[in-house]
Amino acid sequence: MTSIFNTHLFAVNREDHLVESQVIEQLKPSRMLTIASGGCVPLNLKTIYPDLHLSVFDINPHQLSHIHNKIKALRNSDHEALNIGKKNNASLNQSGKFDKMFQDLREAFIKYISSKNEMNQFFDVNTTVEKRGAIQSNWQSNEDIEKPFEEVFNDISINNIFGDEATKHGQPGSYVNYMKTKIVDGMFRKNSHLNPFLQHIFLGYYQSKFVFPYLSSNGDQDLEFFEGDIFSIHNVSSYDIVSLSNIFDWSENESVEEHAEYLSQLKKGSAVILRQLNNHKDWIKIFSKYFVEDESFDSHWQMHDRSLFYDHIKLFIRK
């Protein structure tokens, strides 16, 4: 298969694997299918559930190679390559084109709002609650708080990486405030300094190999890989859970309809997980012929999702 991609776009999944884990605990599946992306979600899930048959697919072959490289680093206990305890923008968990935007955000945040020393102090587990709260308040009240997000998440910058398809469901110019609100609000959550997604953004590394299950594993995750889109998965009916990340943020209604029809092959009681970024499209209207939505799922994860990235996380159950 000839690829239009010349490298991987995503070094990490900006997705909380606890979302999928909740569905796994609920449904007790034997087989699951998920998009590869940066590989963190499938690697975490296979670490937690070694007996689960887990297939990953991606239209970008470099994302699949990227996961293989992570597994190799795990087998070699190469923590530096996985950005554990050491910042290196060229290492495996920082090296994607999209991740460069968050590196730029880190630099701009230090330039306009904070300092490296203060940032390290914020994430230091020995910093008192009072001191960390004072740092948070200073950041939030800074008159330049929007500048880092304006420089990084303007439509031009996003479209330069992904094309204008990436912003098709968001209002023009809305991503600046969207990302600012998600990230700044997330920094005010309890124990936000322990959030690995925030560590990844603002430190450029993970403070411990225990922030995600896969980082402390020995690299024995046995995954099944497919290069292509979901329509190239000919036995899709064999899966109990299908996790599609936020691919519909890039899609016209016609494509969503095609996915709904294809996924109608799933068995009764099977699940589809969808994420939505700066997008309030009510996709169940398209899926409702075959699926019912668990609305409590979205409500729960709007409050508890650690990725600080999505508006909605939907769970559709096959009728």
Domain containing residue 72: 17-83+222-318
Tell me the sheet residues that pair with 271. 241, 317
Tell me whether residue 130 is in a domain. yes
Predicted pLDDT of residue 167 = 61
Identify the domain boundary among 148, 174, 204. 204
Predicted pLDDT of residue 170 = 66
The three-point CA angle 253-157-142 to 5° equals 115
Q: How many domains does the chain have?
A: 2
Q: Do residues 135 and 192 share a domain?
A: yes
- CATH code of 228's domain: 3.40.50.150
* Nearest in space to 283 (alpha carbons), one of 261, 303, 257: 257
List the strands of the sheet with 224-227, edge to edge: 224-227, 53-58, 31-35, 241-243, 271-276, 312-318, 291-293
Identify the domain boundary among 173, 204, 235. 204
Output the CA torsion 292→293→295→300 (10° steps): 140
- Rounded to the nearest 10 degrees, the angle between the axes of helix 129-141 and helix 175-187 is 160
Q: Do residues 72 and 24 share a domain?
A: yes
| Per-10-residue mean pLDDT, the chain, length 319 | 78 98 99 98 99 98 98 98 97 96 98 97 98 95 96 91 66 90 95 98 98 98 98 98 96 96 99 96 98 98 97 98
Predicted pLDDT of residue 277 = 95
Question: Which helix (H) or strand (E) segment is 54 a member of?
Answer: strand 53-58
DSSP classification of residue 219: S
Question: What's the distance, Cα to Cα, between the start and end of the chain in Å?
Answer: 35
Predicted pLDDT of residue 293 = 99
